[in-house]
Amino acid sequence: MNIQHIQGMVQNLKEGRLSRRSFIQKMAAFGIGAPIASQILAWNNVAMANATLEYKPAKAGGGGPLKILLWQAPTLLNPHFASGTKDQIASRIFYEPLAGWDKEGNLIPQLAAAVPSKENGGLSEDGTSVTWKLKPGVKWHDGKPLTADDVVFTWEYAADPATAAYTTGAYKDIKVEKVDDLTVKVIFSKPTPFWADAFVGVAGMIIPKHHFAEYKGAKSREAPANLKPVGTGPYKFADFKPGDILAGTRNEDYHVKNQPHFDTLEVKGGGDAVSAARAVLQTGEYDYAWDTLVEDEVLKRLETGGRGKISAAPAGDVEFITLNTTDPWTEVDGERSSVKTKHPTLSDPAVRQAINLLIDRDSIQKFIYGRGGVATASFVNEPKQFKSSKLKYEFSVDKANKLLDEAGWKKGADGIREKDGKKLKFVFQTSINAPRQKVQAIIKQACQRAGIELELKSVTASVFFSSDVANPDTYTKLYVDMEMYTTTQPQPDPERFLNQFTSWEVANKENKWLGRNVSRYTDPAADDAYKAAQKELDPAKRAALLIKVNEIFCEANVILPVLSRRKVVAAANTLSHDHSGWDVDTWNLAAWYRS
């Protein structure tokens, strides 16, 4: 499919000879996913689609309680500190961005009056600015009006290095100007092809200036609103016990007519994925369970309970292993895994390559994840035009042994390989979750056959994904040799997703371990390709640059992708919900209702 063909299809859509759905289906047939097809339409002045969930209740309220299970319990409610998905989901209940992503990758206005386009004057021709108009009449939960000042403040807050915001990557390289009380202009230093980052989706939640102004910068962690949010969302804060339970009540002054449906909201945290799935599918105790990371055979048995069903949404999330090329056992200037150190054995490329060969991805998919994931060697898998066709995976104990023999790693009397007095013994950590422990066991067994010893470590999910800077067991600290988890692609474009492969995002003591590059591995070629992609307006050239960033880390065997994940949730048969693979589960919570 060439550019003339695409332009002809766009014209047919504009003139009514082709539906939006047909356009997206035809693009998909040529490997262009729905998210990018939607962006093509937006660039050609075709309005974004409406939200994907049709809301049927004739009035707000009357739905009774909505009960949600997050088996990884939220620990904070500031969206700009939320490095874990659990905290992002909880924060989105109270805070909203200017726009969010639906399950088809369409950008849906939330606090914005409309999605910017060239037609409405929102997108500049040269790609250097975006103008957002706010929806009039929106109020914070304390009754004060939402204005452009709040949007500008959110930028100042997140961009300030002293705030140490998890979302800083979306804000630090832009300028935001107030045009009038309901209009802001985002200015880029160079042409920016993917403009829907700041103020959009996971990184985009707007916070009230009048509650956070005194806590910008070094005092950011002291704000009372970090645990008692005052937002614009469909539910008002009622109570929060970090690591346990979160409660909200219906926002009677919500800015969408007849929404929300439910009178109260309860988010219960903790437990495990199996018990969460059972509580929805079998017992009906809860309405919705997030991230039912459970063997597919178990889920199928639970579905026979008749209370609920599994829903899987396409996503860019990936389950992967990080190999630590820094030394997690030596402390330098108050931190372990410092970039000033090198790992005694994993800094050897042959060792990393051997471990990659010892991951039986096909068996992991077939016998553990089923509908929940597809084996992959690529960190980026969706949309398809950003997936590398070069990266391939293979499982071979024989090849791993040969590699290690040739690299001089000899088996000792205990069967463990060593060289220069250093043994191939590693601590391998992940969160406590049955599928992940089974994956750990599969990899440990294969490694044993190649003379590598793995000590398996399992950390409670609420601890592993915590933002607590004093906690040594968080995934961002990486105070072990290797670890495994799923990372979330927050929008249907991998630019922000891939900034975790840049040198300026390295997690360390200085940024309170909120930098997105948890691996600490850096490569100037990856930095250069990433920077070039940020200003490349040609879609094909830009995709090639982002693919290169992905390939550099995967080919170095620092990042070992295991599965391309789908977002799998459990929902009651009576619940109409709207979960998206491109945003957090609560992105459109106001539109949920009970049949």
Domain boundaries, the chain: 3-44, 61-94+233-307+573-594, 106-222, 314-491+558-567
Q: What is the pLDDT of residue 155?
A: 98
Q: What is the pLDDT of residue 359?
A: 98
**In terms of Cα–Cα distance, which of 141, 173, 144 is closest to 77?**
141
Measured from the Cβ of residue 11, the count of other Cβ atoms closer than 10 Å reads 12
pLDDT tens for residues 338-388? 999 999 999 999 999 999 999 999 999 999 998 889 999 999 998 888 899
Range name among 28-37, 77-86, 257-266, 584-593 with the lowest pLDDT average: 28-37
Residue pair 186/197 in contact by the 8 Å Cβ criterion: no
Q: How confident is the model at residue 395 (pLDDT cuts 50, 70, 90)?
A: very high
Here the tokens at position 463 are: 């601890």
Q: How confident is the model at residue 96 (pLDDT cuts 50, 70, 90)?
A: very high
Question: How far, CA to CA in Å, does 575 sit from each of 25, 280, 512, 579, 591?
Answer: 28, 11, 39, 12, 11
The domain defined by 106-222 carries CATH number 3.50.30.60: no
The more confidently predicted of residues 200 and 125 is 200
Determine how β-strand 174-180 pairs with β-strand 107-109. Answer: unpaired
pTM above 0.75, yes or no: no
Determine how β-strand 425-431 pairs with β-strand 482-487. Answer: parallel
pLDDT tens for residues 554-578? 999 999 999 999 889 999 999 999 9
Position 24 pLDDT exceeds 80: no
Measured from the Cβ of residue 307, the count of other Cβ atoms closer than 10 Å reads 21
What ranges in 253-340 are assigned the alpha helix state H?
273-281, 296-303
**In terms of Cα–Cα distance, which of 358, 404, 356 is closest to 377?**
356
In terms of Cβ atoms closer than 10 Å to its own Cβ (0-12, 13-18, 19+), residue 144 is middle
Q: What is the pLDDT of residue 190?
A: 87
The more confidently predicted of residues 429 and 488 is 429
Position 179 pLDDT exceeds 60: yes
Q: What is the pLDDT of residue 333?
A: 93
- CATH match for 314-491+558-567 among 3.30.70.1060, 1.10.1530.10, 3.10.105.10, 3.40.50.970: 3.10.105.10
Residue pair 260/590 in contact by the 8 Å Cβ criterion: yes
Q: How confident is the model at residue 194 (pLDDT cuts 50, 70, 90)?
A: confident
- Which amino acid type is present at position 410? K
Q: How far apart are CA 48 and CA 88, in angstroms?
A: 25
The separation between CA 411 and the C-alpha centre of its own chain, rounded to angstroms, equals: 41
Mean pLDDT, rounded, of the chain: 92
Position 292 pLDDT exceeds 70: yes
Q: What is the pLDDT of residue 47?
A: 53
Residue pair 574/594 in contact by the 8 Å Cβ criterion: yes
Q: How confident is the model at residue 253 (pLDDT cuts 50, 70, 90)?
A: very high
| 390 DSSP assignment | S
CATH superfamily, region 61-94+233-307+573-594? Periplasmic binding protein-like II (3.40.190.10)
Here the tokens at position 550 are: 């992905």
Position 1 pLDDT exceeds 80: no
Q: How confident is the model at residue 452 (pLDDT cuts 50, 70, 90)?
A: very high
- Say which residue the tokens 């040799």 belong to: 481
Q: What is the pLDDT of residue 43?
A: 56
Mean pLDDT over 238-245 rounds to 96
Q: What is the pLDDT of residue 489?
A: 84
| 375 DSSP assignment | E
Position 232 pLDDT exceeds 60: yes
Position 525 pLDDT exceeds 90: yes
Give the Cα-Cα-Cα angle 49, 196, 4 (nearest 5 degrees). Answer: 65
Determine how β-strand 567-572 pairs with β-strand 308-313. Answer: antiparallel
Q: What is the pLDDT of residue 496?
A: 86
Mean pLDDT over 446-472 rounds to 93
3-state secondary structure of 33: coil
Mean pLDDT over 490-503 rounds to 90
